[in-house]
Amino acid sequence: MASSSSFLRLILLFSLLFVIKAAKTASQRHRFTSIFSFGDSLADTGNYVLTNKTSRLGSLPYGETYFHRPSGRASNGRLVVDFVAEALGIPLLPPYLGSKNKVLTKGVNFAVSGATAVDVSFFIKKGFMYKTNLTLGVQLQWFQQLLPSLCGSPSNCKEFFKKSLFLVGEIGGNDYNHPFSQKRSVEEIRSIIPKVVHAISSAVNTLIGYGAVTLFVPGNLPIGCSAYYLTLHSSSNKVDYDTSGCLTSFNEFSKYHNNLLQKELKRLQVLHPNVTIIYGDYYNAAIDLYYSPSKLGFSKGGLRACCGGGGSYNFNTSALCGNPGFTVCEDPSSYVSWDGIHLTEAAYKWIANFLLQHSLLISKVTIVSSNNVSNI
Ligand SMILES: *[C@@H]1O[C@H](CO)[C@@H](O)[C@H](O)[C@H]1NC(C)=O
Ligand SMILES: *[C@@H]1O[C@H](CO)[C@@H](O)[C@H](O)[C@H]1NC(C)=O
Ligand SMILES: *[C@@H]1O[C@H](CO)[C@@H](O)[C@H](O)[C@H]1NC(C)=O
Ligand SMILES: *[C@@H]1O[C@H](CO)[C@@H](O)[C@H](O)[C@H]1NC(C)=O
Ligand SMILES: *[C@@H]1O[C@H](CO)[C@@H](O)[C@H](O)[C@H]1NC(C)=O
């Protein structure tokens, strides 16, 4: 468990970050009183298990560390969204599907494990598999349906959202994970990246239309370092791996998605100078963990999963964490990877810290006060 002093530093950093940013962008101080979150299993705090009671995410060891019960999160404990909420003094976000008739003035979480950014009709047409039809578009519809009871008229909602932080993602990873699990080629899947990025940026645009003024939009993780990809796409050719043992072509794939996403966010920032759009650099946060795990306190290394069914990376599709045949490590906090796909609470906490320190720098690039696109 974290020392209270490092937690305090986290709070201070976060407060500082947003006070500075708010002062810069609106000459008016934001004090966030609510968070609205969209995304997939990296952000889901319980929606998916409410739609599927037999999901392994709904049983131990998921949730064993912090909640001491399965919480519907795809980790042993808390996620980045939880650490952000804690830092802002906002209660951990309830899942939207479990919040019927509840007062949601402190925000709610629409994220669903397995969700894609692009609508499922596209994947059906392509012959790609998918896990849930509760896509980013559906999550936005839930948000729209909530507005009358949450804040009333459009102008009241705009006022309300001035004090809201919008977390749009991580989302998009599954648009690639699912077809990659079917062994579709990197070239084929690369061609859908612009469509995925467009789905994310139109969601950002829609939220701005409803009055969102502070949006945090994470990129994709370095998938070439995940036990899942390392197992499914293992290669006998050494040149396919970098010096830390990650698959280079898959990390390049993530970088390409992230570059397009950042370009798109910069474009939106120019269109909406009064709004603050922050790119969340999950890639570089996680790459530090994968490349120097023991230096950063993850003594069991970055690539091998804590919970899984054996093999070089303790990842086995026939014995996934939570399914028959798995074993779980004794000390998840010394691992980066929880179940081969998702990260441990300790890793998410580290990433949250990283983002708080680096978003300040990134925001200098993305916050643009002029309307002149060619200045970027
Ligand atoms: C629910 O989860 C189980 C276990 O992962 C899976 O086999 C099943 O297809 C899921 N059901 C639905 C309706 O998605
Ligand atoms: C998702 O799929 C389920 C089951 O196939 C269906 O009942 C539901 O209406 C679909 N939801 C949406 C939003 O498409
Ligand atoms: C941005 O804010 C300024 C000052 O409040 C206002 O005059 C301007 O119309 C706003 N611009 C947009 C695009 O909303
Ligand atoms: C994967 O899991 C299956 C089912 O439990 C098991 O038979 C197999 O030996 C495992 N593979 C590895 C490499 O551990
Ligand atoms: C935009 O910036 C460029 C380069 O700084 C300048 O040449 C151009 O006149 C500017 N356009 C407008 C509309 O301000």
Distance CA(109)–CA(48), nearest Å, equals 11
pLDDT score recorded for residue 353: 87
Residue 306 neighbours by CB distance under 10 Å: 27
pLDDT of residue 2: 42
Q: Is the CB of 133 under 6 A from ligand 2?
A: yes
Q: What is the pLDDT of residues 240-293, one digit of tens each?
A: 999 999 999 999 999 999 999 999 999 999 999 999 999 999 999 999 999 999
pLDDT reported for residue 87: 83
* 260, part of any domain: yes
Position 19 scores a pLDDT of 41
Q: Rounded to the nearest whole angstrom, what is the distance from the C-alpha of residue 270 to the centroid of ligand 2?
A: 37
**Burial bucket for residue 360 (CB in 10 Å: 0-12, 13-18, 19+):** middle
The closest alpha carbon to 212, from 269, 145, 136, belongs to: 269
- Give the Å distance between the CA of 116 and the centre of ligand 3: 34
- Give the ligand 5 atom nearest the CA of 371: 14
Distance, CA of 260 to CA of 277 (rounded, Å) = 15
Confidence at 365, pLDDT banded by 50, 70, 90: very low
- Write the residue with the smallest CA distance to atom 2 of ligand 1: 55
What pLDDT does 354 receive? Answer: 87
CA dihedral over 322, 326, 329, 334, signed as positive or negative: negative
How many Cβ atoms from other residues are within 10 Å of residue 85's Cβ?
A: 25
Spacing, Cα 133 to ligand 2 middle (Å): 6
Provide the pairing of β-strand 214-218 with 164-168.
parallel
Query: Taking a C-beta distance cutoff of 8 angstroms, is the pair 263, 376 a contact?
Result: no
Task: State the total domains in the chain.
Answer: 1
Whichever domain contains 153, its CATH number is 3.40.50.1110
Give me the pLDDT at residue 366, please: 32
Predicted local confidence at residue 357, as pLDDT: 72
Residue 8 has pLDDT above 90, yes or no: no
Percent of the chain with pLDDT over 70: 87
- Give me ligand 4 centre to Cα 335, in Å: 21
354 in a structural domain: yes
Q: Is residue 144 part of a domain?
A: yes
Q: Which residue has the higher pLDDT, 374 or 117?
A: 117
pLDDT recorded at residue 15: 47
**Does the reported pTM lie above 0.85?**
yes
Radius of gyration over alpha carbons of the chain, in Å? Answer: 20
- Which residue's entry shows tokens 């209660």? 91
| Ligand 5 atom closest to residue 373's alpha carbon, by position in its atom list | 1
pLDDT > 90 in the chain, percent = 83
> How close is the Cα of 271 to the center of ligand 3, in Å?
11
- In short, whether 52's Cβ falls inside 6 Å of ligand 2 is no
Beta-bridge partners for 104: none
Q: What is the DSSP annotation of 79-121?
A: -HHHHHHHHHT-PPPPBGGG-TT---TTEEE---TT--SS-HH
- Cβ of 236 closer than 6 Å to ligand 5, yes or no, is no
Question: How does pLDDT run across 186-243, given as a tens digit for each residue?
Answer: 999 999 999 999 999 999 999 999 999 999 999 999 999 999 999 999 999 999 999 9
> How much is the pLDDT for 287?
96
Closest ligand 4 atom to 312 CA = 13
Residue 165 lies in a domain: yes
- What is the per-residue pLDDT for 358? 67
Cis upstream peptide for 61 (omega within 30°): yes
Average pLDDT over the chain reads: 89
**Ligand that comes closest to the CA of residue 312:** 4
pLDDT at 367 over 50: no
Q: Whose CA is nearest to atom 4 of ligand 2?
A: 133
HSE-CB at 149 with a 13 A cutoff on CA atoms is 11
The parent domain of residue 216 ranges over: 24-224+249-295+347-375
Residues 261 and 362: their CA atoms lie apart, in Å, by 14
Let me know if residue 199 belongs to a domain.
Answer: yes
Q: Which residue among 25, 274, 277, 371 is best mutated to probe the pocket of ligand 3, counting the most ligand atoms within 8 A of its Cβ?
A: 274
Ligand nearest to the backbone CA of 53 = 1
Residue 16 lies in a domain: no
Q: Which residues contact 129 (CB under 8 A, 6 or more apart)?
A: 123, 178, 179, 181, 182
- 316 confidence band (pLDDT: 50, 70, 90): very high
The three-state secondary structure class of 14 is helix
Q: How far is the CA of 108 from the centre of ligand 1 (A)?
A: 24
Atom 3 of ligand 5, residue of closest alpha carbon: 374
Q: What pLDDT, on the 0 to 100 scale, is given for residue 355?
A: 86
Q: Does residue 372's CB lie within 6 angstroms of at least one atom of ligand 5?
A: yes
**Nearest-5° Cα angle at 366, 362 to 368:** 135
Q: Residue 338 domain-assigned?
A: no
Please tell me if the CB atom of residue 232 comes closer than 6 angstroms to any atom of ligand 2: no
Q: Which atom of ligand 3 is nearest to the CA of 273?
A: 13
**Residue numbers annotated as active site:** 41, 339, 342
Token representation of residue 189: 């899947």
Q: What is the pLDDT of residue 359?
A: 62
58 C-alpha to center of ligand 1: Å? 11
pLDDT band at 177 (very low <50, low <70, confident <90, very high): very high
pLDDT of 107 reads 98
pLDDT digits (tens, 9 = 90+) for 14-70: 544 444 444 344 333 447 899 999 999 999 999 999 999 999 999 999 999 999 999
Q: Of all protein residues, whose CA lies closest to atom 9 belonging to ligand 2?
A: 133
**Ligand 5 atom, smallest distance to 372 CA:** 1
CB 200 within 8 A of CB 171: yes
With a CB cutoff of 8 Å and minimum separation 6, the contacts of 332 are: 64, 65, 76, 77, 306, 307, 338, 344, 345, 346
Mean pLDDT of 325-346: 98
Q: Would 335 be classed as within a structural domain?
A: no
